[in-house]
Each structure stands twice: as C-alpha cells, then as structure tokens.
Structure 1
Amino acid sequence: MKSANYVIFDILGIKSRGGGISFGFTENVVCEINRDPFIAQIMVNADISNATFSLHDSLEITNKNATQIVSYLYSFLGSMMVSLLKNSSRYSNAVLKPVIRLSAIHFSKTNKIRMEFTENISIRESVSFQCQLCDGAAILKGWVEDATALNYKNKQDRYDILFLLLQSGNKIQKYMAMYAYLSSLVREISSNHHVRQKDVVQYVMDNCPKTGIQVVPSPSTRPGAKPTDMDDQFTSLRNKIGHPSDIKNLVSVSEADINGLASIICCAIEDVAL
C-alpha cells in the first residue's frame, strides 16, 4: 500500500514505443525494503514504465533534506537499471535503453516543497511485441538486492557513459563504441596501458557466467593469433564488423548482442577500483 510520502519516476527506454521487442511483467510488482533509511516499498508497473518509491511514514521530510532524499532515490533506481542490464539474459532480445525521469513527488507534511521538470518525448506509432515474465516479483527483488550492494554513486560517471551509449539508434556504431568502452575498462582494471584484444577476450570469458551468458567460442581472427586461440562471441562480432571479409555481406547486430555486451560492461565497471 502506498504511504503518505512517495516519489514516482518514469522509466523510459524499456516499454517499446518505436517498434521492436520489449518485456514486462504479468502484473504490477512490489518489493518490501528492509533496513533502508528512506525506502519502505518499491512498486514497478507491469510494463516497467514507472517505479513508485513509498517512504517510511515516520520519515521527517524538510526543505533541507528533500533534495537529498530524491537524489538518493535517483541513485537507487539507477542501480536497479544497472541490474536490469547486467541480468538481461532472461530478456536478451528486448530493446533496452533505460532512462529515468522524475515524475511526481508527494510529501504529506511539506506542501511548500516544489520540484519542477519538463519533458519532450517523440513517440512514433509502430508494431511492437512484448514478452511477459510471470516471475516479476522475483526479478524486482533481484534488482533491489543488486542495488543495495552496488557502489553506483561512486561510479555513476562510468554507468552514465554506458546509458548514453545505449541511446544510439545505429546498432553497429553503438556496438563498436560499447566494445571500445569495454576495452578501456579492462585496461583500467589491469592497470596496463597496452591491453591486447586477447585480454578483453579473457575478461569476457571469465565474466559471462556471472551474467547467465553462455560463452560461444570461435577460432580467433586476430593478426598473429595462434591456431589454438579462441575469441568469445562479442569479440568475434566486433572483428567481423571492423574487418569484414566480404563487404557485400553486411554484418548484423541484434539486441541480444548489445544487451549481452552491456552485461559484461556492467561487470567491468564493478571491477574498476575506486
């Protein structure tokens, strides 16, 4: 049940508005939160178009701490969106371009608090398909558990880069930019200025199991690679795009390719030292 104090955020980029495949739940899902200083409950709509944060009724909200509370909720929902990307193997074919936006604030005893925002969204009519998952409550609980454990605030700039890259409408450009970003993160993790592609391959192979992605190895096409060297599916696709063997046959990039690569990038951001 919604408390007297609540904040609602719109979640854009999950519910399909411009065609393609989206995913959702069979019904609105709720997760009770334990031992959080502000949040008592989170409800996410079935179509994952908004999230409502119900706050503790005992929480004293003032003009001084209202901004801090909303900022905290922004970060918490941002962490949930990271978990959504990292654990996308269940809905790998969905278009995932998460953007969060403040929608409404209701603080019962502080009517003088006002926070204004504007919106401009272009909506096109198109054919779309939605995959409904019947275990929405369990999925939301997983997002919340990840959010409480994730060091999102201290690495928000890196996550923001990932979210920005996902907004691109050109799948091939998006994929190549995301792979380049992963390479830079692996270089940062290893503290080595000369990270080789095989180092990225090893990182991907080591971290696929953490995201539920199955590694699909193939013989490496890297210059100087040994006959026994193998590439993961993300590196193999990157090399097919960057070094096409037949320019007449265009290489295609699927939403599953992009979402899988985003999952590995989430792992890499977590592994970067503060």
Structure 2
Amino acid sequence: MTARRLWAAVEPLHAVAYFAPETAAAAKAVGLRGYWMGYFAGRLAPLGPVGPGPATSVLFGFAPGMVARALPDAWSFADPADVVRTRVEAVSDALRNLVGADHQELADLLERAVDACRFDGRPLAAAWAAVPKPADVLGRLWLATTILREHRGDGHVLAAVHAGLSGLETTLTHIGDGVIGRADVQPHRGWTDVEWDAAVESLRDRGLLDGDRLTPAGKAVRQRVEDDTDRLASAPVEALGDDLDRLLELAVPLSRAVFDAGVVPVPNPMGVSRP
C-alpha cells in the first residue's frame, strides 16, 4: 500500500523527537521532569493541559497508570505552548545535525500531503495541524511529518476500536504477528504483567491467539485493522499522485541517516524499520 510506504519513509524523521538528546534537553530546560513526562507533554501539548483520562484515550496503547504519573503534573511545570515551541525548535536542531538544512522541496511536498488530510475523529492530528507553521524549513518538515504520523495514528485507533480491540490488545496483535517483541514494548507502555497476561488470555478466549501467536482468525482481524488504517490514511498519498515517488526519493535517505546515526533504535516501539 502506498500509504504504508509514506509512513515508513517519514516515521523515522518524526521519531527523532522521541530519541534525540536535543529534545530531551529542551524538555528539561522548559521544566519537565524525566523522559516520560517530556514524552507525554511533548506529544500532547497542542491539545492544551489535557488530563490523564483524555490523554490515555488519545494515545490508546499506554497503560492509564503510566500516563497518570506524568499528567496533569506536567502542566504545573511547563505551559503547553512553551512545550510545543521548544520541542519544534529542538527537533529542528537535531535534524540539522543529522541531515543538514537544505530540504525545501521535501518540506513543500509533505505540506501538500498534509493539506489533503481530514481530521474527523482525529484529535491529535487536528491539534498538531493547528500549530503555526515554523519559519525554519526543518521545523516545517518535522511538523508536517508529525501531522501525517498522527493522522495515520488516529486512524489506526479508529480501525482497532472498530475491530473490537483495546489498546493493549492491538499491541498484542502486533507481537502475535511477529512485528515486534514483548520486551520491545511492555517497558515502554507501562502495562503490568497481570494486565498483560489478562489481555493475552482474553485474546486466546476469543480464538485470536494460540499461545503468543495469532491464529488464522487473529491474522484476519490484524489484516483488517491494517487495511483500514491504510485506507484511512490514503488521502495524502492520493493528493500527491505521481509526486509521491519524488517525496519518497527525498525522504528515504534522510530516514536512513537517522537510523545509521543511531538516533532511532532498532527494534523500536513504533515497529518501524530502516527504509
């Protein structure tokens, strides 16, 4: 699917925000405490001072208790607008150090793709789309990849909920399909062993898992979620038309450089590999 090709090409550029030292330093400087407070505040700040309930709903795959350890406390240390501003500036600096600064054409193409997005039922993508466009080309590039990423991510949540899966159950279908391993995800999502094992048992009872692997019925559900996710993310690639190939030609070497520099680890919780 062309929508999946676009995601694979630009996800590593967006993901620099989660791993680059510049981003961590910016979160600390603005007053946030610890990696996970910086993560949740940095990703959700365009929504305003959101609490743990709505945040868990939007993020979908995280344990509520993990989110509640960071929110709403984060907003007592830093204003959401300051978090957004410093995050964009920090990621711009990180990308400049990784891939250089001359990427006007790619930024333009990414923004064309963003212009085709609709945000019905997509709160996180809509929030990032409302962030003013940075003057800096790399800021524009990162913001566009973020909107596209959250547009697809919000659509993935819609697809998984439609398939009758919770956030943790959706993660277990990734693991059951061999995309990622439990050790790559559980520590980064906050689920206890009791919660994790209960979700596994629920999927086994529904005939979707055999052991830790997907059954044929589980694979069918998984495929339906992925197909719906791609379908819901198709508008940007349709708007690009033949220019999608040019976008991929420009973006893929940058994403490879991000991996080769060791900034985004492999494996990673996003399940994205070096394109």
- Range class of TM-score, shorter chain: under 0.3
Q: What TM-score results when the alignment is normalised by the length of structure 1?
A: 0.26
Q: Going by fraction, where is strand more abundant, 1 or 2?
A: 1
Bigger radius of gyration? 1
Q: Going by fraction, where is helix more abundant, 1 or 2?
A: 2
Task: Give the number of the structure with larger relative contact order, counting CA–CA contacts within 8 Å between residues 6 or more apart.
Answer: 2
Q: What TM-score results when the alignment is normalised by the length of structure 2?
A: 0.26
